Structure 1
Amino acid sequence: MEGKRRVVILGGGIAGGLLAKLLQFHADVVLVDPKEYLDIPWANLRARVEPSFAERTVISHSDYFTHGRLVTSSAVNVTDTEVMTKEGHNQKIKSSNSVLIIGGGPTGVELAAEIAVDYPDKKVILVQKGPRLLQFIGPKAAAKTLEWLTSKNVEVLLNQSIDLKAISEVDREFTTSTGGVVKADCYFDCTGRPLSSTWLRETGLKDCMDRQGRLVVDENLRVVGKKNIFAIGDITDVHEIKQGYHAQKHANVVAKNLRLLMRGASDAYLHKYKPGSLMVITTLGRKEAVAQLPLITMIGHIPGM
């Protein structure tokens, strides 16, 4: 590796993993990730109802990242020159007659659909804090999704929430914000995971973050104020829906830009990232999906192909 520039990638998710794969033959790449594998998030929900499918949702980093160094750890600090590191769902569903899903975003909707299709005899209750499902997409697509779930006997409670801090795994009765009581044998929190970026506020990147904890990037996906630090995936402040296919596009742009910089190219030659259009596909069980495209909204087997 002598003579090659070093690139350190923090996080081995979809974006980080793809970037490591693309750059491994062009630089001395170090991938820092607490896990030894790449987890495909949009396939996890199917695995909860079909255990054998789980084998296809996880890819060992060593399977695709063969010419670099993997550091299985979490990062605790970042400077301009250094990165410092810190040295049974399916059964749950099967054994339950009723399942409560908290959160009506894409994860909650897709999980409710998977259970409704694979276990039609189970009672599924979906609680959504807002006035409609999938609030990041248009009302027409949201209405079609609600109609589909209702047709599969999923009970959807809108404008209601459940205090996650007040419940435990052993609870079988859940009180909603309106005072109603929902009975279920188990529950899944699908309210979304917050960005794991709080630690960055104690690093040299603290002045490069917005109020939501995202890193502010320029049109080249380079962190503002930094010459050699890029950000990709959900952590960027790019105004677009945070989904895997956008993260893959981020990785492709940054890989090209890093190669250019390592060859001594000036900033004028760097590739620019164009935020994705509002195209969203949310799966509904094994064979169907709802798709919001720029000019049309579709639901059924065609978008699910």
Structure 2
Amino acid sequence: MAEPGVEKKKRVVIIGGGVGGSLLCKTLQKHRDFDFTLIDPKEYFEITWARLRSMVEPSFAKRSVINHHEYLQGASIITSDANGIEDAEVSTTEGRLISYDYLVIATGHMGSKCVTRTEKLREYEADNEKIKSSESILIIGGGPTGVELAGEIAVDFPTKKVKLVHKGSRLLEFIDEKASKKVLDWLTIKKVEVILGQSVDLTSRSDDNTYKTSDGETIMADCHFKCTSDPIASSWLKDSILKDSLTDSGRLMVDANLRVKGFDNIFAIGDITDIAELKQGYLAQKHALVVAKNLVVLINGGNEGNMVKYTPASPMAIVSLGRKEAVAQISCVTMIGRIPGMLKSKDLFVGKTRKLLGLKA
């Protein structure tokens, strides 16, 4: 209860402790003018672009899977799913009601079912054991996740027979055709068999480890990894006050200040937004910093005209190809090999991300 004559601090609630939500919380923790609460279904933040390296090297995950309390010491953190939003309250699946003056939605995509860091680390150990014990491996999906996993396995386990099946006409369809072709050639040199224009029906898997593709082709593999996109984590919003702010694809419409359209005190960041740009982790971090500045302006009673506007980013992508190489597309320039690999592949920006959270690199 606030003391007489002392104005009660404004309450900020952040839903989602992923790439954007974690950095937003860390940034807000520096300000004493308001209180914030993080609501997240898991106890940890994961540097998502390090996942594929963690599958071939489980010890790598010890730096990239971080308990929220490690970088948010003393913060209010609720481990639960949010399942409803009203005008000034968020409800959780465990029956709690959390009041807010300002709200930020940062739920991104549906993710892992692991709740604790220990569970997540064990999951990577299990994935690694599955890779090591298999002679043949099927990867389903030729986006950045599938391509990076194929690259990690091909480099660390060159004797494994790896097949990658992608329903699109080319790999990495979000970058230009020249870059896609270079990646296909790189994988082919590494003896990864790539099958394009087909999908795999996982329900068709038989006891003798055979899979059927959409064209009726039979694939033999000791194990498989599904590397297609997870759904946007927004279905729970369809019965909330934000239901009319969702696009048909389940993303939240935001204005230039990253406020959800139709609301002055609700923001959205990261993959859940309808911003016309590639959905990438470093852009979610940029969203977080913009929203942090705008919250400070609003909470300190500043003029809304002083709020920061977010400018959608120009296309840029770096996809790792094992530990030393990568493919990069920056505007219209495409590179593949050791030079772009020096930018990302060795450490996958893990040290840089840890520094942003105030942790040792």
In the superposition, the TM-score normalised over structure 2's length comes to 0.82
User: Is 1:159 matched with 2:197?
Assistant: yes
Instruction: Decide which of 69, 92, 112 is 1:85's aligned counterpart.
Output: 92
Aligned to 1:198: 235
Query: Once superposed, what is the RMSD of the aligned Cα atoms?
Result: 1.3
Matches within 5 A, 1:32-43: 32-43=39-50
Aligned to 1:62: 69
User: Is 1:176 matched with 2:213?
Assistant: yes
User: Is 1:214 matched with 2:251?
Assistant: yes
Partner SS, residue 212 of structure 1 = coil
User: Is 1:291 matched with 2:298?
Assistant: no
User: Is 1:11 matched with 2:49?
Assistant: no
**Structure 1 pair 205–120 and aligned structure 2 pair: CA distance change class (3 A):** same
Tell me if structure 2 keeps the 8 A contact 1:80–1:228.
no
Matched AA of 1:247: A
User: Is 1:137 matched with 2:175?
Assistant: yes
Partner SS, residue 22 of structure 2 = helix
In the superposition, the TM-score normalised over structure 1's length comes to 0.97
Tell me if structure 1 keeps the 8 A contact 2:167–2:199.
yes
Partner SS, residue 258 of structure 2 = coil
Structure of higher RCO (CA pairs closer than 8 Å, 6+ residues apart) = 2
CA distance in 2, matches of 1:199, 1:171: 39
Partner SS, residue 141 of structure 1 = helix
Partner SS, residue 282 of structure 1 = strand
Tell me if structure 1 keeps the 8 A contact 2:142–2:172.
yes
Displacement of 1:79: 1.8
CA distance in 1, matches of 2:252, 2:205: 33
**Structure 1 pair 233–63 and aligned structure 2 pair: CA distance change class (3 A):** same
User: Runs ≥4 in structure 1, deviation > 6 angstroms?
Assistant: none
Tell me if structure 2 keeps the 8 A contact 1:116–1:154.
yes
Instruction: Decide which of 51, 56, 63 is 2:58's aligned counterpart.
Output: 51
Tell me if structure 1 keeps the 8 A contact 2:205–2:212.
no
Instruction: Decide which of 10, 21, 25 is 1:20's aligned counterpart.
Output: 25
Partner SS, residue 201 of structure 1 = helix
Encode CA deviations 1:37-85: one digit per residue, 9 max, x unaligned.
0011110100111111110120110111124200000001012211101
Tell me if structure 1 keeps the 8 A contact 2:69–2:75.
no
Instruction: Decide which of 232, 235, 248 is 2:269's aligned counterpart.
Output: 232
Encode CA deviations 1:19-39: one digit per residue, 9 max, x unaligned.
011012322010000111001
Partner SS, residue 44 of structure 1 = helix
Aligned to 2:83: 76
Q: Which runs of 5+ in 2 are unaligned?
A: 3-7, 95-125, 343-361
Aligned to 2:36: 29
| Count of aligned positions | 304
Partner SS, residue 237 of structure 1 = coil
